[in-house]
Amino acid sequence: AQSVTQPDIHITVSEGASLELRCNYSYGATPYLFWYVQSPGQGLQLLLKYFSGDTLVQGIKGFEAEFKRSQSSFNLRKPSVHWSDAAEYFCAVGSNTDKLIFGTGTRLQVFP
Amino acid sequence: ETGVTQSPTHLIKTRGQQVTLRCSSQSGHNTVSWYQQALGQGPQFIFQYYREEENGRGNFPPRFSGLQFPNYSSELNVNALELDDSALYLCASSLQGAANEQFFGPGTRLTVL
């Protein structure tokens, strides 16, 4: 079955600390992989996506993610977190850019 | 360029009623997808409309139905509302074709009492 697992429901970091959000997927075909961010009262905003090629992808707001096929993972990273990064983060997989399968999300809290 | 808009923002209904949610796609987009996001969960794909026809459906019963209009705007209709239908309903628009990003609206919060 196709699925996305985000093992961390809630993560708390201090401002300026590094961040890694985990994502594992199960998908039969070669997947398209995505990370979205959702702030309260807002829709989803695309941070970055992986289709093919270089397994390290750069996104907006200083985020990056690394695709590891052998581990079925697509973890999101940021070297230095800002207070404005506090939000809900969703990993998603699909065979295209739509009809996506989302994980349950990781809530990021940032302390000053 | 206008982004994806949804109406209404919030809605309260009672069990058994019917509801219609609306979505205006971003300019130039011809495809609309609908997602249901229950509290504490990730969005779940309901269905997609392209050229006014359903173009894929997730694991949702037939009482969830939709329409797409010639201007590419869309409606989501839910009949015989159940308590579990309480959720944030997200609309996303895109240009049909591989690798074209979909853009999400802010959602409609539906509460079923």
Q: What is the interface size between A and B, counted as CB pairs within 8 Å?
A: 56
How far is the C-alpha of B70 from the C-alpha of B77, rounded, in Å? Answer: 18
How far is the C-alpha of B45 from the C-alpha of B104, rounded, in Å? Answer: 13
pLDDT at A97: 67
pLDDT at B2: 72
Contact A44 B90 (CB under 8 A): yes
Per-residue pLDDT of A15-61, as tens digits, reads 999 999 999 999 877 789 999 999 987 889 999 999 888 899 999 99
Query: B7 falls in which pLDDT band (50, 70, 90)?
Result: very high
Q: Is the pLDDT of residue A2 over 90?
A: no
Contact A4 B98 (CB under 8 A): no
Residue numbers in A near B94 (CB within 8 A): 97-98
Task: Take residue A108 and report the two structure tokens written for it.
Answer: 């990021």
Is B38 or A2 the better-scoring residue by pLDDT? B38
pLDDT at A103: 96
pLDDT at B1: 58
Q: Is the pLDDT of residue B97 over 80?
A: no
Residue numbers in A near B44 (CB within 8 A): 102
How far is the C-alpha of A19 from the C-alpha of B45, rounded, in Å? Answer: 28
Give all strands (DSSP E) within B1-113, no chain letters.
5-7, 10-13, 19-24, 31-37, 44-50, 53-57, 64-68, 74-78, 87-94, 103-104, 108-112
For A43, the closest of B44, B99, B104 (CB atoms) is B104
Minimum distance, in Å, between the CA of residue A42 and any CA atom of chain B: 5
pLDDT at A4: 96
Residue numbers in A near B56 (CB within 8 A): 99
Pairing of strands B108-112, A44-50: unpaired
pLDDT at B92: 94
Task: Take residue B73 and report the two structure tokens written for it.
Answer: 């705007």
Task: Take residue B7 and report the two structure tokens written for it.
Answer: 């109406």
Average pLDDT over residues B97-110: 85
Contact A98 B58 (CB under 8 A): no
Contact A97 B98 (CB under 8 A): yes
How far is the C-alpha of A27 from the C-alpha of A81, rounded, in Å? Answer: 30
B24 interface with A at CB cutoff 8 Å: no
CA distance to A6, A19, A96, B4, per residue, from A11 (Å): 11, 9, 29, 30
Residue numbers in B near A103 (CB within 8 A): 42
A96 interface with B at CB cutoff 8 Å: yes
Minimum distance, in Å, between the CA of residue A17 and any CA atom of chain B: 26
